[in-house]
Amino acid sequence: MNILLLGYGKMGKIIGELAESRGHHIAAKINIDNRQELENLDKDSIDVAIEFSQPDAAFENISWAIKKGIPVVSGTTGWLDRIPEVEKLTQDNDTAFFYASNFSVGVNIFFKVNKFLAGLMQDQKDYSVSLEEIHHTEKKDAPSGTAITLAEGIIDGIPRVQNWKMSDDSDITEQSVPITSKRIDPAPGTHIIRYQSEIDDIEISHTAHSRKGFALGAVLVSEWIKNKKGILTMDDFLSF
């Protein structure tokens, strides 16, 4: 399979190494310094684009590939207000777009555990819920996309919780999930959900030991997406 890497930072490099170790060919490695090379690429020689760039570059990168009819697997966070535009482009160009805030199989299992626990806690009004996420200092967006997905799972499961806000937000209320974002090296990613009451605390957490799990997930999805069409998610890939 011929893979175009849109974004070649730390994640892009790990993805490239894993893809090649699985017998795939990297057609091009595009970053901010050589983006002009996109126009010289033969779209027919690219099977899929894996996009792990920066929030301010993601929409342009994804749009370029989709308009060429190239399926895109994206893991960049911090640009999701433009997802509806990408979904329309995908439909108009009869290709595939796959987005996940986190490609780790373990994290996606954690998403399900989080939703299940939220359902159990919906009537337990003595408990307040909060979320903490820790990432390396090079991560630009806060909160992380994974933290937002977790917060949305809590909101879906507990009717009295209506939104999420950063923990230092002056407008935070009892109807909000407060998110604390920490940036500490070399942490690749920790997410903690806490339910606290005067009697006891309940806590679940996921800690990544390296970026390899995220990168491998992206490569596995890229292998799976061939010949598929439409808007796809980790639920489709894992058949939850």
Residue 6 · residue 50 · CB < 8 Å: yes
Residue 191 · residue 131 · CB < 8 Å: yes
Spell out the residues 6+ positions from residue 21 whose beta carbon is closer than 8 angstroms to its own: none
Rounded Cα gap, residues 39 and 194, in angstroms = 48
Phi and psi at 180, nearest 5°, equal -105, 125
Residue 98 · residue 72 · CB < 8 Å: yes
- Burial class from Cβ neighbours inside 10 Å (0-12, 13-18, 19+) for residue 133 reads buried
Active site residue 209: no
The residue with tokens 């930072």 is 9
For the beta sheet containing 190-196, the strands, ordered from the edge strand earlier in sequence to the opposite edge, are 163-166, 176-183, 128-135, 190-196, 201-207
Catalytic pick from 68, 135, 191, 206?
A: 135
CA distances from 44 to 17, 19, 98, 122, 127 (A): 23, 19, 20, 51, 55
Catalytic pick from 43, 139, 165, 212?
A: 139
Active site residue 135: yes
Residue numbers annotated as active site: 135, 139
